[in-house]
Structures are given as C-alpha cells and as structure tokens.
Amino acid sequence: NAGVMQNPRHLVRRRGQEARLRCSPMKGHSHVYWYRQLPEEGLKFMVYLQKENIIDESGMPKERFSAEFPKEGPSILRIQQVVRGDSAAYFCASSPPLLADTQYFGPGTRLTVL
C-alpha cells in the first residue's frame, strides 16, 4: 500500500489563477480530510469528505474554495482566483470506513502564490 498520495508536491501560481490539489487516499479508504498549515501554525481542518459526499466543510473559506471526492479518482481541493494569503501547505489524510478515528496523512502540497 503506497500510502496517501498528493500531487503536485509544490505548486506555484500567480494571483488570480486557479490551484488544483489532488489527493489519492490509501487503498480501501473512503474518508478524506483536508487540512491547511500556515507558517508557524498547526494544521487547520478544512473539510471532511466521503465518496461523493461532503460531510463537514466547516473549516472551508466561504468563497473561492471547493472540494470534491468523486466515485472514481482522487479528491480535489480547488482554489479559485488565488491570493497571496492562500500560500500554505495543504495536507490530505484518509481513513478506512470502520476506523474513522485513524487518519493517515499525505506528504502535503506546498502552494506558493506570487
């Protein structure tokens, strides 16, 4: 099992562009979580998804951010019209359906907005 995969590992965007971050959960995992880490801070919960459903998006900014976890393919965190304040490390974690309290983290995507 390759573990949680995230790509790209580094992403550079100019202000106003779109950023798409991908997360492939571990095999057999149907729960995905996204976290954001700003410099000198801890990880902040953004959204929790199960296949084709958003369960909890209480940590997502109201505008420009969206997430999906389709039936087939990776989970996508999408940031439209990026601003400098979006520069951060974005981590994805997954958990199996019967052990929702155990999360396995990906290596993260570092987004830099110029």
Partner 1 sequence: AQRVTQPEKLLSVFKGAPVELKCNYSYSGSPELFWYVQYSRQRLQLLLRHISRESIKGFTADLNKGETSFHLKKPFAQEEDSAMYYCALNPTGGYNKLIFGAGTRLAVHP
Residues that bind partner 1 (CB under 8 A): 3-4, 31, 33, 35, 40-45, 48, 55-56, 58-59, 91, 93, 95, 100-108
Confirm if 20 and 82 have CB atoms less than 8 A apart: no
Residue 72 is given by DSSP the state: S
In the complex, the smallest distance separating the C-beta of residue 12 from partner 1, rounded to whole angstroms, is 21
Nearer to partner 1, 25 or 108 (CB): 108
Nearer to partner 1, 14 or 39 (CB): 39
**DSSP bridge pairs for 90:** 36, 109
Nearer to partner 1, 13 or 34 (CB): 34
Q: Which tokens go with 44?
A: 């902040």
How many angstroms separate the CA atoms of 51 and 55, rounded?
A: 10
